[in-house]
Amino acid sequence: MKQFEVPAFYRSPLISKIKAARKVQDPRKKDFTPTEIQLGEFTFLLARHFGFCYGVENAIERSYKALAENPGKRIFLLSQMIHNPAVNQDLTENGISFLQDTNGKQLIEFSDLTPNDVVLIPAFGTTLEIEQQLKARGLDIQTYNTTCPFVEKVWNRSDKLGETQHTIIIHGKHQHEETRATFSHAAASAPALVIKDMKEAEFLGSFLKGEKTVQDFHAYFEGRMSTGFDPNIHLQKIGVVNQTTMLASETEGITQFLREVMIGIYGQENIKNHIADTRDTLCYATNDNQTATYGLLEKEADFAIVVGGYNSSNTSHLVELLEQKFKTFFIKDATEIASDFSIHSFDIHSHQLQHHPSFINNQSKQRIVLTSGASCPDSIVEAVMKRILAARYTDQEIEQLCVQFA
């Protein structure tokens, strides 16, 4: 796979050494057991796969390339490059401005842009409507378009479904930048509908079975269907794609559920005429990170820490998996661990930071599960490890403990 030029301060000598060793041991990625690292009285169970993915490294490399190649020009990002606060802060400190926030709210009007400005499309991609607006301003949106190729793969799959007259069901979070972009591209090819989870799939199933009215359907899915969507017509032949960062198991469950509903309505012998035989369209990194998280669940530990941006979809799903077994703390970086070794952890259910006192106890040894999302730099994960070690060791002792790996 291509190697990208990412600023050195995003890298971690410690974690790079660990990842390199696992790659040599398991070049075909068949072993998803975690790596156990003994550092003094702490054992860290690092997920087999975590951290920057192909799409993220590509986006970061091209962002810094835009800075280097356009001195003196105004450089804008359409919205957050990726869902990691440290990366986005670094880009803004280097002079890049955001045109929109993550919800699509305009921060700088497109009318303020000139053809001499540089605009970067983030890894999530963007909608056809926004592309048209930028082009109308005379802006080049291709040179620094960092749309992840795995997102584009979903768009291509949607195009194919449209060609065969399927309605496109998108498993995703309809407010997420990627899903907004995918919905726009899908709706250009076919009727499209966004569903978030199994609960919404079950409502869709109830309509298909005649248990809900058209009025019920439109009220429930308001704002999440393409213009002119007629559920009586457009749900007779469907295909499922997904936001690339959703839970693979949930996408598979939703697809199978809808298949069973269609079988009940049309019969097994006719099923190929009513639901496409699609595989999930998750990216490789999401699949690898989630499978590696299941590997963590097979181990025993005192607690788990997941590091990443609080608005990162793929990271929140790692938390969702780990909290089934472990007390799980979701932190953006080491600053969430206070000097008294209490911790501020983001709750994915209430969407609030919660304070947990003395999360590191006085036991002689502790086992800690540790992973991060696909948009989190390894340097931040290393900083979290060292912050935990600081509960019992001096800076000099920590460096001595880490040097055996780095």
* pLDDT tens profile 290-335: 999 999 999 999 999 999 999 998 999 999 999 999 999 999 999 9
DSSP 148-182: -HHHHHHHHHHHHHHHTTPEEEEES-TTSHHHHHH
pLDDT of residue 75 exceeding 70:
yes
Residue-level pLDDT at 236: 97
Confidence bin at 360 (pLDDT 50/70/90): confident
Residue-level pLDDT at 1: 60
* Residue ranges of domains in the chain: 8-53+284-403, 54-136, 149-273
Question: What phi, psi does 69 have (nearest 5°)?
Answer: -90, -5
Residues 6+ apart with CB under 8 A from 214: 231, 232
Q: Vertex 245, ends 240 and 248: CA angle to 5°?
A: 60
149-273 — its CATH code? Answer: 3.40.1010.20
Helix H or strand E encompassing 332 = none
Residue-level pLDDT at 292: 95
Contacts 24+ apart (CB under 8 A), 247-253: 247/290, 247/317, 247/320, 247/321, 248/280, 248/282, 248/286, 248/287, 248/290, 249/290, 250/171, 250/197, 250/198, 251/171, 251/280, 251/282, 252/280, 253/198
Q: The tokens of 317 are what? A: 């799903």
Q: What is the mean pLDDT of residues 340-351?
A: 94
Amino acid type, 182 = T
Catalytic, out of 57, 177, 178, 320: 178
Q: Which CATH class is domain 54-136?
A: alpha beta
pLDDT of residue 406 exceeding 80:
no
Cα distance between residue 293 and residue 168, in whole Å: 30
- Three-class secondary structure of residue 323 per DSSP: coil
Residue-level pLDDT at 280: 66
Cα distance between residue 210 and residue 132, in whole Å: 40
DSSP single-letter state for residue 278: P
Does residue 190 contact residue 167 with C-beta atoms inside 8 Å?
yes
Cα distance between residue 350 and residue 355, in whole Å: 13
- What is the sign of the dihedral through the CA atoms of 245, 249, 252 and 255? negative
Q: What is the mean pLDDT of residues 127-144?
A: 96
Residue-level pLDDT at 81: 79
Confidence bin at 152 (pLDDT 50/70/90): very high
Confidence bin at 286 (pLDDT 50/70/90): confident
Q: What is the mean pLDDT of residues 175-198?
A: 96
What's the longest Cα–Cα distance across the chain? 70
Confidence bin at 41 (pLDDT 50/70/90): very high
Evaluate whether 8-53+284-403 and 149-273 have a shared fold. Answer: yes
Residues 6+ apart with CB under 8 A from 95: 67, 75
- Residue written as token pair 């972009």: 181
> Treating both helix axes as pointing N-terminal to C-terminal, what angle do 395-403 and 378-389 enclose, rounded to 10 degrees?
120
Residue-level pLDDT at 9: 87
Does residue 312 contact residue 297 with C-beta atoms inside 8 Å?
no
What's the mean per-residue pLDDT of the chain? Answer: 93
* Torsion angle of the four alpha carbons 199, 242, 101, 8, in this order, in degrees rounded to the nearest 10: 130
Cα distance between residue 280 and residue 287, in whole Å: 10
Question: What phi, psi does 403 have (nearest 5°)?
Answer: -65, -25
Cα distance between residue 284 and residue 122, in whole Å: 19
Residue 300 appears among annotated catalytic residues: no
8-53+284-403 — its CATH code? Answer: 3.40.1010.20
Cα distance between residue 59 and residue 36, in whole Å: 31
Cα distance between residue 86 and residue 374, in whole Å: 13
